[in-house]
Structure 1
């Protein structure tokens, strides 16, 4: 089953707690960039942020990534101390907007996405197959709504 919490602006105060749970209960994560990144459209911080992940990128191979349009490029990474520290740089979910930082942060357990931000919709989808993480999110006060008839996130 898939659940969502909408308008994550309401949960921005719990951003660090949510990320700690996501990184503890996942092996990998991803985000996307636009294929044609123009320096004039982004700050230097954006490019410095991307450079920090360069040595931790992994091949897409087995990972079941979300589908994107042709203009978007997905990047997958290992979770480790360095990448976790980098993920804590944005101050909230709203920062993942493709201008300040990349977009659509997602976390994977056994190569399957269980936590996926959809930045432009201001929503997060959570698959309960990562049961321990799902329960930890509930413990910190995240209220979920069931999405019917959804077989993937």
Structure 2
């Protein structure tokens, strides 16, 4: 297995404006991905994604740094880096959401890269890579469902 990148493409029956909000605004992000999210949607902003209750020892708190934020077209960030280090190639994974208008909706292309560059032993690399595949396969459909529910409420 190459472990180079994970790529997924999905169509969402919502405009790029709505989809961009759903992937870049923490209020919306926590509706389809983590239990909580705290970050500003501006390049260079540092924040976090939280799975579980932050006040408990088993909470998973993951640092996130926004890399690019081009409304309605692109949102990218680095994550899974040591909390005491700035995110950079080699110590973090890089996620990009590219949005393209498609009919009445949006085609979303999500790419996650940087697995090999993390310096993990092969067993850890294999485990992390497969966990991320499973995670995206679970959460990306939720992104689409949430965006469509948001449109239906408007």
Structure 2 length as normaliser, TM-score? 0.32
Structure 1 length as normaliser, TM-score? 0.33
**RCO (CA 8 Å, sep 6+): is it higher in 1 or 2?**
1
Greater C-alpha radius of gyration:
2
